[in-house]
Amino acid sequence: MTPAARCASAIEITDKILFGQAAEQVLTNWARGHRFAGSSDRAAIRDLVYDGLRCQRSYAALGGAMTGRGIIMGGLIAQGADLADIFTGLGYSPTSITPHEGQGPALATLPPAVVFDCPDTLFSSLKESLKDDFELIMQAMQKRAPLYVRVNQSRFGITEVECALLEEGIEVTANNNVNYALEVTKNARKVQSSKAYLSGSIEIQDLSSQAVIAALPDTAAMRVLDYCAGGGGKSLALAARGAAAVFAHDANPRRMIDLIARAKRAGTPIKVLDTAALEGEGPFEMVLTDVPCSGSGAWRRDPENKWRQSIESLKEKTKVQAEILKNAARLVTTGGYLAYTTCSLLTCENEDQINAFLANNTDFSIKLQQSFSPLTGGDGFFVALMQKNAD
C-alpha cells in the first residue's frame, strides 16, 4: 500500500471509532476485510490511528474537523508533511484537499486542553494533581508508550533472556531502577511470537507496574491475594518474585480467563478464587488491590479511554475504590499488609483515597506511599502500603 492509501484506510477506521466502535475491533475487522494488506501496512495504519487517538483534539484542530479526515490530516500537518502529496484523489488516496482544509489555527492560539489533548472534564483535576509537571506529563501522553517486558526471575536470568531475544532480532535494554525490567528498543511487534515469550521467559508488563511490585515488602513467606487481578499481570509478577502462595480474585471472573494458561506457561502456580471462597482461604499476609480507576496514567496505551471520561464516571470510580479498600481490609491478617495501586494521575483516586481510608480505619498505618511518573518511561502509577496493627 502507498502512504496515501494507508492514510485513506486510517481515515475510514478513525471515523468508525469516533462513532463509538472499539478501536481494536475496527482494526481487526478492517484487516479481515483487506487481506491484501501486508503486516507492515497493518502496523503503519494502526500507528496512524492510535497516534490520532492520542492527539485527537490537537490534530482535529489542525485539520479543521473532528472527523477521521480532520484528525489524520492534522497529524500530517504536525509532522510537517505535504498534504498535496497524500490527498490527491487518485487511486486509493484520500480525496483532494479543498482550499479551506489544512488551514487550521496555530496550536499556540488554542486553549491548553486542546494543545495538550486533555478532556475538559478532567482538565482542572489533572492540573491540580500534577502541578508543575502538568505540561510535561501531558506532552508525554501524546507520544507512544515504550514496550517493556518482565523477565520471569523464578526460572530465567536476565542475561539469558537478553541473548535469547537478540537471536530473534529483538533488542532490549535493561532498566537501571527496576530489576528484571527490559525495554524493547527494536522489533517490539515480534515479542508475542518470540520463543522467549511463548516459553514463559518473559511477560509484557509496563515498567511502572513492575516497579509497584518491586516496591512491596518481601513476600517469600506470605500468602498473597491479588484482590482485583484482572488479566493477572501483577499476580504473575508476585508469584515470580516468590511467595508462599499467590491467590487471584476479580469481581468479574471473565477478566481472569487467560490467567491459568499464563501461569502454567510461566511455571508459577496461582490459585484463582471466586468471591465465595475468599473468606475460607483468608486471612492473608498481603492483599493487593489494583483498583479500577480513570486510567489517566495509561492514556498513552489506551487513548480511547481518555475520551470516555466524565465527572460522573470518576465519582462512581472513587466510590468503588473506597468500597474495595473496605472489603479487602477485612481479609488482611493482623500484622499483614494492604496494598493499594492505581494507574491514575489524579489525587482524588490516590492520596485522597488513602487519607480517607486511614481516617476510618485506625487499625491500619501507612508504611509506603509513592507515585511513578510517566516521565520516567512507564505509565503513571500510584502505590500505598498499609499495615494492619494489633488491637
Q: Which domains are seen in the chain, by residue range?
A: 3-110 (no CATH), 147-204 (3.30.70.1170), 208-388 (3.40.50.150)
Nearest C-alpha neighbor of 278 from the set 327, 240, 342: 327
pTM to 2 decimals? 0.93
* CA dist list (Å): 302 to 23, 54, 347: 10, 8, 20
What is the C-alpha separation between 337 and 365, in angstroms, rounded?
10
Q: How many of the other CB atoms lie within 10 Å of CB of 277?
A: 13
For residue 76, report the phi and psi dihedrals to the nearest 5 degrees.
Answer: -65, -40
Residue spans of the chain under pLDDT 50: none
CB-based contact 238:229 (threshold 8 Å): no
CA–CA dist 148, 210 (Å, integer):
9
CB 381 within 8 A of CB 365: no
By DSSP bridging, strand 202-204 and strand 147-151 are antiparallel
Query: Is the preceding peptide bond at 283 cis, omega within 30 degrees of 0?
Result: yes
Question: What is the end-to-end Cα distance of the chain in Å, rounded?
Answer: 69
The number of beta carbons lying within 10 Å of the beta carbon of residue 121 is 17
Cα dist from 313 to 107, 293, 356, whole Å = 29, 10, 20
Q: Largest Cα–Cα distance of the chain, in whole Å? A: 77
> What pLDDT sits at residue 391?
66
User: For residue 241, which of 155, 149, 333, 160 has the smallest C-alpha distance?
Assistant: 155
